[in-house]
Structure 1
Amino acid sequence: MIGFLTSRRWLYLLALPLLALLIFGLFLLMVSNTSMGGHRAHILLTLQLDLLGVFFLGLFFLLSTLIPFLYFLLQFHKQQQAAIAILPDLVHLPSDKLQLLSPNFLPLLTSLQPIMRQQETVIRELNDKNDLFADALDEINEIGLQLRRSERRWLLALSATGDGIWEWKADKDIWYFSSRWKAILGYGDAELPNSAATFDGFIHPDDVERVRQGFAQFTQSRELVAELIFEAEFRMRHKDGHWIIVLSRAVADRDPEGAILSVVGAQTDITAQRKAMIELSQAKEAAEKAVAQLRGTQLQMIESEKLAALGALVAGVAHEVNTPLGIALTAASTLSEDTHSVLAQMDSGALKKTDLQHYLAVASEASQLILRHCNNAAALIRSFKNISVDQTAEVVRDFDLGLYLDEILQSLKPSLKHTCHTIEVHCPDGVLVHTYPSAFTQIINNLLNNALLHAFAGIEKGHILIEVKLLDESEIELRFMDNGIGIDPSVRAKVFEPFYTTKRGQGGSGLGMSIVHNIVAAQLKGRISIEDTPGGGACFVLVFPRVLKGER
């Protein structure tokens, strides 16, 4: 509108009605000059008094004025709509295209363009700030949500632990006790005030001074250590009058200088735990006494088993020695009788050459017989002596394992005398060991008795193989294998358990293999296991150190 007024088009709009008035005046003048007669006054009077002419005159004047005005108003409206249409793109509209617009709105648009550009910059900055604010607000909301979740989680965790919470504000000496803390003592939340007297007043008189000193030492400490924790175990009076045992643990919030700002703690009722610990300690002492008695009984039974094995060994050796000695005695008696007969014949002078030759033959045969059987008896007695001394002495010494196994089997031959079972030993020569020799006597004896009682049940001719192998310079493996009926998998796990036997009432005590396990583990410092043999039967594998440590 301002551009329209500043232009000269409104002058043309006013000139049109003035031009119509001028034409109408000229028309009247022409009419007045043409009629020189009496009609001129009549026509003039008629025109002046004719209302219809006045109406048409006014209408002509109005139309001549309104039509141009409406035309120019319509043009102005179109230009205005065009200017409004380009307003959204005015900021980015180039200056050359802006000059092509109507001059009515060009000054206004030209002045608006920098303003709108500045406004767009401000709006963009505000949008960026608004986005940052929205992101920050979302982050704050997320942090708040996480804090609420964390707080809820900690509240649930504390409820699950059953701990009571207490807090002390050091600057204002304000105390706070949670409802759970009060419930531990049997009180409701409104029954106890939040004050220091609530804490001190319920502590056992014998514990109150110790707790005060510990808390004072904790609060007076200036150490900025996050792990510094106040911890005290003491008794507190329950509402019912009895004493409960509580464990109180707390941490402190300190300023940069280490001064206490506040202390937050958790308190737990550990009365049941302490009672259980006392009962457990008493049960432990009773169990230790029972274990000690059991070990003593076990040692006695082991010694009894050793003595029984030694007694059986003595009986077997005595029986074995009796046979060669009886033969030697018979031969010696025969030789003695023949000697007296020859001497009597010499004294009477009746000794013949044939009698002397017969005597010499008998003497030679008898002496060989006596010597051979005496040597057998001496070897048996010597091996028995070595075995019996080792079993009773319990000493660690150096010995050849292969030779010692032969001596053990020599002493155990009476056990196999009335059977068809055989024993074979495979041991490298010169395997020297430093350990308890008596342990091997007991082990081989128990393994042999176990094989005779269990492995060869229903088998007339069994075979036992004892195989020794050097695993390295420090360990030796001994395998005791038989071709018997084997060991059922359900029984294998219980073989070394004390008093477990499948031959209860048939000669089995259930201690033989348990004693073997204890000797291998305790005396030899080794280990024992059971393996299957390819052809059936069982295989006991012993692995033990070649030199017993700490015994050399």
Structure 2
Amino acid sequence: METGAAAAPLFDALPLPALIRDSAGALRGNRAYVETFGAAVDDRLSAGLAGAEAGASFDLRLTDRAGVARDVTARVGGPPWIAQLQDITDHRRAERGLEIVTAKLEEACQTAKLGYWEYGIQSGVLTLNDAAFAVYGHSRARFEPSFDNLLAILHPDDRLSLGNMLESVIGNPTRLYVEYRVRDEDGHTRYVSSSCAPRLDGEGRLTHVFGVMMDTTERAQAAAQLESAKQRLEDAYRTGHLGYWEYGIHSGDLLWNDEAFEVYGQDPRDFTPTFDNLLGILHPDDRLSFGNMLESVIGNSKRVYVEYRAIDRAGDVRYVSSSCAPRFDLDGRLTHVFGVMLDTTERAQAAEALRAAKERVEQAYTDLQAAQDSLVQTEKMASLGQLVAGVAHEVNGPVGVVLTTASHMLSRTEDVKRQFGANALTRSALSGFLEVAQEAGQLLVGNTERIAALVHMFKQVSADQTGDEQRVFYLREYTEDVLLSLHTQIGSSGHRVMLVCPEALQIESYPGAFARVLTHLVRNALTHAFRPEQSGRITIDIQAVDDAWIEVTHSDDGQGILDSVLPKIFDPFFTTARHENCVGLGLHIAYNLATQTLGGQLTARNAPDGGAVFTLRLPRTLGE
């Protein structure tokens, strides 16, 4: 259809680009078209408009005179036939941007596992995306999204709150948030966090309610676990009587739990936990250390432990052990100082009592050591006294002989002198006197030598028993001297002592300590080994084990040692003859001398055929 010439001015005046057919049927554009796209008509546009009737429309992309691609919609009107071109470039760009945003939103929802839902107010249709089904734990095949079906899977306690949320949004179109629980296909409970917002049409009327949802089951479970852990921590605080405290660096607020009041002995009804009030109940001598603790934590941001005292409401002193640690915000800035505290009053009192008891025990031990040293010294003096008594007994015989011989010799000398003065001394009388004098001299010399030997032995043994000099000595000779010093006790007991030892066997050690060990072993046997009616035998066998060790075996044929007594036989003050005024230190002293002074070993056992056996092992040279 052609357009008349009269319509040409109106056609050129159209504000939108437009096309008409001239008398030859060719397409011609108006001024707006020529200014935008140029005089030539794009072939794609010509092909689209060929045969197009009024009411037809289509979209295509044209390039304008500036070379910019434009999206246009061609709409054919008439009569007269005219095609108008509407630039929809911005609209298409907006549509493409919306599509991109929608795709990104969908991708974000999928990544964040955010479900989308939409409910039509008028239609009653509930729409869920795939992520929403995943949030609810239901599949599209088995769950038809509808409001009734949604109510069916809601937790019974949460149906009212969800309904109230929808009513609130419908009645007052604002965005709301709600949390509720649903039951998934497996019957498990899931926690859901959802937003709810209104959607209005062009005239401002509410048409839809929509929002996003997220599965917060793990978060809810974590929160439940955290709450349970907090509860267990509180239970632990209560069970362990641990107080918790927290001090705000910037606010100055001091927070306590109930146990903290118990630790400090304060009543929460009349005591307000503030820093100044806390300083007020601290022991004056401990305020500085408490302040230093806080300064150390604030300055070094490290955990610190401190012990201090506090005065409770009754005025009694309480001992408190407390930790102190820093707490930081997300930017790493110190915001709080916190810690736990424990009432250690009983422990401190127990420690003080323990210290006092320790001091008493140490003093008692010192006194015991002094008493033991005194007993040892007394024992040395007793041994020396018994040695003196034994030597005196042994010396008494030779001294008596010497005295008798000297008296007899003096009497005979007086007779000879008288006869000589009276000139009555005969040859036979003089010869008899000389024979008597010779015999007397022999008796005097022999007994005097015996006395000298006894005195020498006494001096040597007594010096060894009272001194601590190390020297080389022959074991047989020295043991005989020790047994000689015990001759009186051995003789009065009715028992015998036999010595077996090589003549040349010698040792470098402390002879006094060796003598005391031997003396205690013999006395112990004389006192405990034999029954009253028995005449026993003690054997001392000394032999060289090798080049380094000597073994002294002290045995008897007595009644032996009870098995219950044997493990305690060397214990101090242990005796089975307390009724006979025995102290119980003899074997203990012997054991200490053998192991400490002589560097050897002393053991006790029962012989298979009866009797007790004490074995003393000594190094041949002390110090090696």
TM (normalized to structure 1)?
Answer: 0.62
Residue of structure 1 equivalent to 2:17:
none
Question: For 1:472-487, what aligned pairs fall within 5 Å after superposition?
Answer: 477-487=551-561
For residue 518 of structure 1, report the CA deviation from its aligned partner.
Answer: 4.6
1:179 to 2:258 alignment: yes
For residues 233 and 419 of structure 1, the distance between their equivalents in structure 2, rounded to whole angstroms, comes to 69
Q: Call closer, same or farther: CA 1:165–1:335 in 2, change over 3 Å.
A: same
Contact 2:282 2:309 in 1 (8 A): yes
Residue of structure 2 equivalent to 1:395:
468
Q: Call closer, same or farther: CA 1:200–1:397 in 2, change over 3 Å.
A: same
1:271 to 2:350 alignment: no
Q: When you count strand as a share of all residues, which structure comes out higher?
A: 2
Helix, strand or coil at the partner of 2:356: helix
Residue of structure 1 equivalent to 2:459:
385
Identity across matched positions, percent: 31
Contact 2:386 2:485 in 1 (8 A): no
**Structure 1, residues 366-411: CA drift from partner, whole Å, max 9, x if none?**
444333333322222211111112233x232213251332221122
Contact 1:380 1:411 in 2 (8 A): no
Residue of structure 1 equivalent to 2:288:
209
Q: 1:432 aligns with which of 507, 512, 515?
A: 507
Question: For 1:219-238, what aligned pairs fall within 5 Å after superposition?
Answer: 219-221=298-300, 229-238=303-312
Deviates more, 1:377-386 or 1:413-422: 413-422
For residue 434 of structure 1, report the CA deviation from its aligned partner.
Answer: 3.2
What stretches of structure 1 of length at least 5 have no aligned partner? 1-133, 223-227
1:330 to 2:404 alignment: yes
**Structure 1, residues 66-109: CA drift from partner, whole Å, max 9, x if none?**
xxxxxxxxxxxxxxxxxxxxxxxxxxxxxxxxxxxxxxxxxxxx
Deviates more, 1:178-187 or 1:493-502: 493-502
Deviates more, 1:540-549 or 1:530-539: 540-549
For residues 321 and 178 of structure 1, the distance between their equivalents in structure 2, rounded to whole angstroms, comes to 91
Helix, strand or coil at the partner of 1:508: coil
Q: Call closer, same or farther: CA 1:204–1:332 in 2, change over 3 Å.
A: closer
Kindly provide the amino acid, as one letter, of the partner of residue 431 in structure 1.
Q
Contact 1:345 1:351 in 2 (8 A): no
1:302 to 2:376 alignment: yes
Contact 1:331 1:366 in 2 (8 A): yes
Contact 1:383 1:410 in 2 (8 A): no
For residue 212 of structure 1, report the CA deviation from its aligned partner.
Answer: 0.7
For residues 477 and 167 of structure 1, the distance between their equivalents in structure 2, rounded to whole angstroms, comes to 74
What stretches of structure 2 of length at least 5 have no aligned partner? 1-189, 191-215
Helix, strand or coil at the partner of 1:502: coil
Q: Call closer, same or farther: CA 1:157–1:445 in 2, change over 3 Å.
A: farther
For residue 351 of structure 1, report the CA deviation from its aligned partner.
Answer: 1.0
For residues 501 and 331 of structure 2, the distance between their equivalents in structure 1, rounded to whole angstroms, comes to 78
Q: Call closer, same or farther: CA 1:198–1:506 in 2, change over 3 Å.
A: closer
Q: Call closer, same or farther: CA 1:263–1:545 in 2, change over 3 Å.
A: farther
Question: For 1:278-289, what aligned pairs fall within 5 Å after superposition?
Answer: 278-289=352-363
TM (normalized to structure 2)?
Answer: 0.56
Helix, strand or coil at the partner of 2:580: coil
Q: Call closer, same or farther: CA 1:306–1:219 in 2, change over 3 Å.
A: same
For residues 533 and 303 of structure 2, the distance between their equivalents in structure 1, rounded to whole angstroms, comes to 74
Question: For 1:72-471, what aligned pairs fall within 5 Å after superposition?
Answer: 155=234, 157-168=236-247, 170=249, 175-187=254-266, 193=272, 195-197=274-276, 199-221=278-300, 229-253=303-327, 260=334, 262-337=336-411, 348=424, 350-352=426-428, 362-392=436-466, 394-400=467-473, 402=475, 403-427=477-501, 429-435=504-510, 437-458=511-532, 460-468=534-542
Please provide the CA RMSD for this pair: 4.2
Deviates more, 1:420-429 or 1:255-264: 255-264
- Structure with larger RCO (C-alpha < 8 A, sep 6+): 1
Helix, strand or coil at the partner of 2:426: coil
Helix, strand or coil at the partner of 1:287: helix
Q: Call closer, same or farther: CA 1:472–1:187 in 2, change over 3 Å.
A: farther
For residues 543 and 191 of structure 1, the distance between their equivalents in structure 2, rounded to whole angstroms, comes to 77
1:508 to 2:587 alignment: no
Contact 1:204 1:237 in 2 (8 A): yes
Paired residues in the alignment total 411
Q: Call closer, same or farther: CA 1:195–1:298 in 2, change over 3 Å.
A: same
Contact 1:179 1:188 in 2 (8 A): no
Contact 2:294 2:324 in 1 (8 A): no
Q: Call closer, same or farther: CA 1:144–1:301 in 2, change over 3 Å.
A: same
For residues 550 and 230 of structure 2, the distance between their equivalents in structure 1, rounded to whole angstroms, comes to 64
Residue of structure 2 equivalent to 1:35:
none
